[in-house]
Amino acid sequence: MKTCTIFRPRKYGPIQKVSRVSILIGAILVVLLSVNWAYHKIQMGVSEEAAQVTVSLYVAAVLVLIIIGLGLAILVDWAISHQRFIFRAPQEGSCAEFIARIWGYDVQYRRDTDLPPILATEPSINADLYPAPPDKPKRRGRKPTFPLERWLPIAAKWENRDPILDAFTLGELIIEHLGSNSDGTPIVSEQTYYTTWRPRAIKELQRRAKARQKAFGSKKQDDLLSQDSKP
């Protein structure tokens, strides 16, 4: 079984930078050349006024498409970073993985290795000379290293970030608040945040926000009552 982890690297590589700049310049050239071609064709065939009106409508349509494209880009970026919709668990070599890599994310797959089977003891071993060790109690799952309180500032900053303006990653937040391994990776994986700590942290932050609102409302009501009681 494979587990998938999607994260954004700290910096774009040179290939990604060159490809994005080339695509942007190419798109601008295509729009400008098409507008110029349409303007001259209509000017020669009909009139200059008709050419100006047509070009204005063409530019307005391009602006609308740009706004729609930005909205879709923000939606896709949010879906990839939160692993929602088709990006929840993309298969290796799938279209979702290809889109995530184009968007600047790294996709890593881990294969869960099965433990080797325990070999049966030989019946020829003398039980008196080599007694069997006592049965040890089964160990429970490892307890979380960090309490929920340490995850609250990470969840508050990550869930309220601006995907366009904020350039930090979830891994950087984990390193900032919890620390890192010797190789520079977060001490707790990003997948652990989404599978274990994110629902708990969001629920706790919502509970505290409601408590603050309730306390603020009661305080405001007390201030109004005190003002009314004054002569």
| Residue 59: predicted pLDDT | 86
Highest-scoring range by mean pLDDT, 3-17, 82-96, 104-118, 126-140: 82-96
Tokens of 108: 């890593």
CB 85 within 8 A of CB 79: yes
Share of the chain above pLDDT 90, in %: 2
| Residue 35: predicted pLDDT | 83
| Residue 108: predicted pLDDT | 72
Q: Which residue in 30, 51, 49, 50 sits closest to 39, CA to CA? A: 51
CB 155 within 8 A of CB 202: yes
| Residue 211: predicted pLDDT | 86
Mention every residue, 6+ apart, whose C-beta is less than 8 A from residue 49.
none
| Residue 68: predicted pLDDT | 93
Element (H, E) at 84: none
pLDDT, mean over the chain: 75
211-227 pLDDT tens trace: 888 887 766 666 655 66
Residue 106's pLDDT band (cuts 50, 70, 90)? confident
159-173 pLDDT tens trace: 888 777 777 888 888
pTM above 0.75, yes or no: no
Q: Looking at residues 136-143, what average pLDDT do you find?
A: 50
31-44 pLDDT tens trace: 888 888 888 888 88
Mention every residue, 6+ apart, whose C-beta is less than 8 A from residue 40.
51
Domain boundaries, the chain: 1-114, 145-231
